[in-house]
Amino acid sequence: MRAIAITAMIATLAMPAAAQVPIAEDFGAWTLGCVTDRMTDRTACRLRLKEWVERPAGGGPGMALEIQDRNGRLVPVVTARDLGIDGASRGLMALSGRVQIRLGRAAMMEMACGLEGRTLACFPHPQEAERAERDLAAADVALIRLTGLGSGGGSNAEPMELRLERTREAMARYRALVPPQPAQAQEGSELHDLLGRMQRLFQ
């Protein structure tokens, strides 16, 4: 009996660690992956559309549509991750690249791009975040056009059409796992921002 009790106690103590396993779930057009840091109990998630905005080619990274928490709002973000030498052209988008996105029948918005470590991220201006979150949840299609230096396209290029489904459900699941992030301080002047981007580009 004592051995059974000790075994049960060990199993109970092991439950929190066992629960902290990677999460992989699909919601229609979206895929959600999460991992929990067992030291801090903080969960990090990535919610991305299964279909590529631009597929990886020539050893370089592809461009994906993700949903990220930006200052407490779940907004569309176009990313190119793990940039290296082969992805140098993607990095150039951090200087002057733009992503035009239209969600459903809502008006088009333009998203500026920047480098976050080795990731190129293009996301809505904070003033448009609330509208972007609302339009994204309701949209059944997204039109995306890459413009500017390093995009390989132009302002008149045919946009990529991506079908969206179960987006609201995917966003709710993401939010259940990741609480809203606090607002971050605004960046400095445009010149300071440009110099910072150039410095990060060549690090």
Tens of pLDDT, residue by residue over 97-119, are: 899 999 999 999 999 999 998 89
Q: Mark residue 17 as left, alpha or beta (left: phi above 0; alpha: psi -120 to 50; beta: remaining).
A: alpha
Q: Are 136 and 90 in contact (CB under 8 A)?
A: no
Residue 95: predicted pLDDT: 80
Residue 4 amino acid letter: I
Who contacts 134 (Cβ-Cβ below 8 Å, separation ≥6)? none
Please tell me the distance from the alpha carbon of residue 187 to that of residue 194, in angstroms, as a whole number: 11
pLDDT digits (tens, 9 = 90+) for 9-60: 333 334 344 445 688 999 999 999 999 888 888 889 999 999 999 998 877 7
Domain coordinates of the chain in residue numbers?
48-179+189-201
The answer to whether 43 touches 34, Cβ cutoff 8 Å, is: yes
Rg of the chain (C-alpha set) = 20
Instruction: Render pLDDT for 64-75 as a digit per residue (tens, 0 to 9).
Output: 999 999 999 999
Give 140-184 pLDDT, tens digit per residue: 999 999 987 656 666 678 999 999 999 999 999 999 999 887 766
Residues near 190 by beta carbon (within 8 Å), at least 6 away in sequence: none
Domain 48-179+189-201, second-level architecture: Sandwich (2.60)
